[in-house]
Amino acid sequence: MTVQTWTFLIVGLTFALYIAIAIWARAGSTHEFYTAGGGVHPIANGMATAADWMSAASFISMAGIISFAGYDGSVYLMGWTGGYVLLALLLAPYLRKFGKFTVPDFIGDRYYSNTARTVAVVCAIVVSFTYVAGQMRGVGLVFSRFLEVEINTGVYIGTAIVFFYAIIGGMKGITYTQVAQYCVLIFAFMVPAIFISLNMTGEIIPQLGFIGEMSDGSGMSLLDKLDGLHRELGFEEYTNGTKSTIDVFAITFALMAGTAGLPHVIVRFFTVPKVKDARISAGWALLFIAILYTTAPAIAAFARTNLIDTMHNQPYSEMPEWFKKWEETGLIAFTDKNADGLITYGPGAMTDATTANEVYIDNDIMVLANPEIAGLPDWVIALVAAGALAAALSTAAGLLLVISTAISRDLMRMQVKPDMSEKEELWWARGGAAGAVIIAAYFGINPPGFVAATVALAFGLAAASFFPAIVLGIFDKRMNREGAISGMVIGILLMFGYMAVFKLGWFVDEVPPSSSWWFGISPEGFGTVAMMVNLVVAATVSRMTSPPPAAVQSIVEDIRIPKGAGAAIDH
């Protein structure tokens, strides 16, 4: 069978599985729609959390960034992994005890203000839509190559699948679908990694292959060979970084704080029966996440080495079929500048006449093309496509539920129509999810950058808005509504404005160069600056205005005491 046939078969089977699970686990109440009824087993919840958290950026784009950026790409590994630990240890137990399963609900009650709740709703929607844009683009990439349809058509197909199981199943359907999606994505990630590690280094464990010797008899380690190839082609050595120290710190911390403030991950700690189960599921999730995250650098190095060996200085007419197929998607391009028929690969843009580089390669294809470049069987290539779709769809579903909940519960029930029936609320929840899916499709077709960069901006927005309000709400009983509201508004406006100018080129004639970045910090890392401004503004304003009511201060003291932790409050 061909790659396309294998892809239709494997992707079709996995989609059928997701739909069957959604029908089996469809939500019949708002409690099931929002928190899966609070009865999910900790191990299953750990898998669902891992799938929810490991998006298309983790599966597709992180290894792609590391593959091209080398050492500089490590910020994504450190930031996302550290952020999950920060969330699980610093915030989740206290939020669970507070009893509010959405960030706007926590902020609205903690800061005794519907204005604060509304600001949080807006922030949740902005963050979630920015994040979901990366997921839908990832879906389009996979469909465009392996099912040979246009990227936009791929986005529509993925949208239809998410539309079905997110609206029918709610959190209950999404949770059990994500368990299946985790199994698919981790199997799809590990199988080619093991195959390629055996071929290149003789090591069955990819992490050992990453630091091992090449099996070609040269006695050279994989990383030494990759450093040598980079020097020959004029690139910076793979194990050296080019980012400034302050930018590395800023991006890493923005990703960490953004992870800890992501609303679609926080709600996961309310889908298990008890606080103890939430802690156990957090530990399982970290283990499940670590499997992929410790393998990603190995896949990046394998893919980069094979790409250079296969492509550089080779006749274009003799390039394998995978190269021509990816050219059709526009994610690889070749221009024979010197008309010698050979592919010259090196630093600089292909479109720049002053550089010798004749090829353009999109970061996002490296994981997807890796099995083809390495010559693995067709079924492995199709399996990777199914895994990438599982990663993108699982996170997209969680994000869409956040948007739906923000509209139906935090906006409509808590503010606009408090006396609505549960049936009405469920209709609002499903209607919000439907609207969110349609808007997500638009952002998938028109994303503001490649997958991981788009997602990094979402993390920056979460860091700039939610993280200070959550941390101060838990640990500073003097923090009041005036401080929280002013901090969130200034933080997200500052981050969004910086992103608009330096990433999207809004309000200016063209995107300014990196030399114009404030303090030398990239848009992906500016969330750290905006977060610090948020903290300073919130703390200052709160000290200049009236303290919160005594009852609120008492709650803040109480939630830091483990005894008596209970289930989510639905009022």
Q: Could you tell me if 160 and 139 are in contact, meaning their C-beta atoms sit under 8 angstroms apart? A: no
Task: Write down the pLDDT at residue 529.
Answer: 93
Mean pLDDT over 127-131 rounds to 72
* Residue 361 bridge partners (DSSP): 332
* 469 has pLDDT over 90: no
Task: Write down the pLDDT at residue 534.
Answer: 93
Q: Could you tell me if 363 and 452 are in contact, meaning their C-beta atoms sit under 8 angstroms apart? A: yes
Angle at the Cα of 280 (from 278 to 283), degrees rounded to 5?
110
**Would 7 be classed as within a structural domain?**
yes
Ordered DSSP codes for 485-498: HHHHHHHHHHHHHH
* 36 has pLDDT over 60: no
**Would 354 be classed as within a structural domain?**
no
Beta strands in 44-95 (DSSP E): none
Query: Does 189 or 167 have the greater pLDDT score?
Result: 189
With bands split at pLDDT 50, 70 and 90, how would you rate the model's confidence at 567? very low
Where is average pLDDT lowest: 292-306, 476-490, 498-512?
498-512
With bands split at pLDDT 50, 70 and 90, how would you rate the model's confidence at 193? very high
**Would 332 be classed as within a structural domain?**
no
Task: Write down the pLDDT at residue 450.
Answer: 47
Mean pLDDT over 112-116 rounds to 82
Going by C-beta distance under 8 Å and a sequence separation of 6 or more, which residues neighbour residue 563?
Answer: none
Query: Does 553 or 123 have the greater pLDDT score?
Result: 553
Tell me if residue 333 falls in helix, strand or coil.
Answer: strand
Cα-based distances in Å from 123 to 115, 128, 459, 492: 12, 8, 12, 7
Task: Write down the pLDDT at residue 29.
Answer: 57
Mean pLDDT over 206-216 rounds to 88
Identify which of 87, 34, 52 has the alpha carbon closest to the alpha carbon of residue 414.
34
Where is average pLDDT lowest: 101-110, 405-414, 511-520?
405-414
pTM as predicted? 0.79
Mean pLDDT over 564-570 rounds to 46
Mean pLDDT over 257-283 rounds to 76
Q: Which tens digit of pLDDT belongs to each residue from 307-358?
A: 888 888 889 988 888 888 888 877 888 988 888 889 988 888 888 878 888 8
- Mean pLDDT over all residues of the chain? 80
Going by C-beta distance under 8 Å and a sequence separation of 6 or more, which residues neighbour residue 173?
Answer: 21, 22, 25, 26, 27, 165, 166
Q: Which tens digit of pLDDT belongs to each residue from 37-92?
A: 556 788 888 888 888 777 777 787 788 888 888 888 888 888 888 888 887 777 77
Q: Which two tokens stand for residue 88?
A: 């699980």
Going by C-beta distance under 8 Å and a sequence separation of 6 or more, which residues neighbour residue 295?
Answer: 189, 190, 193, 206, 207
Task: Write down the pLDDT at residue 384.
Answer: 86
Torsion angles phi and psi, residue 174, rounded to 5: -65, -40
With bands split at pLDDT 50, 70 and 90, how would you rate the model's confidence at 448? low
3-state secondary structure 243-283: CCHHHHHHHHHHHHHHHHCCHHHHHHHHCCCCHHHHHHHHH
Query: Does 6 or 150 have the greater pLDDT score?
Result: 6
**Would 326 be classed as within a structural domain?**
no
Q: Could you tell me if 389 and 346 are in contact, meaning their C-beta atoms sit under 8 angstroms apart? A: no
Task: Write down the pLDDT at residue 32.
Answer: 55
Domain that holds residue 9: 3-307+372-559
Mean pLDDT over 363-387 rounds to 85
**Would 520 be classed as within a structural domain?**
yes
Task: Write down the pLDDT at residue 165.
Answer: 64
With bands split at pLDDT 50, 70 and 90, how would you rate the model's confidence at 28? low
Angle at the Cα of 399 (from 171 to 52), degrees rounded to 5?
70
* 407 has pLDDT over 90: no
* 184 has pLDDT over 80: yes
Q: How far apart are CA 337 and CA 327, in angstroms?
A: 17
Mean pLDDT over 515-524 rounds to 87
* 446 has pLDDT over 90: no
With bands split at pLDDT 50, 70 and 90, how would you rate the model's confidence at 571? very low
**Would 248 be classed as within a structural domain?**
yes
Q: How far apart are CA 441 and CA 463, in angstroms?
A: 25
* 566 has pLDDT over 50: no
Q: Return the CATH number at 485.
A: 1.20.1730.10
* 19 has pLDDT over 90: no
Mean pLDDT over 295-303 rounds to 91
Q: How far apart are CA 310 and CA 314, in angstroms?
A: 7
Number of domains in the chain: 1
Task: Write down the pLDDT at residue 457.
Answer: 65
If you ran DSSP here, which 8-state letter would residue 347 be given? Answer: S
**Would 331 be classed as within a structural domain?**
no
**Would 401 be classed as within a structural domain?**
yes
* 439 has pLDDT over 50: yes
With bands split at pLDDT 50, 70 and 90, how would you rate the model's confidence at 368? confident
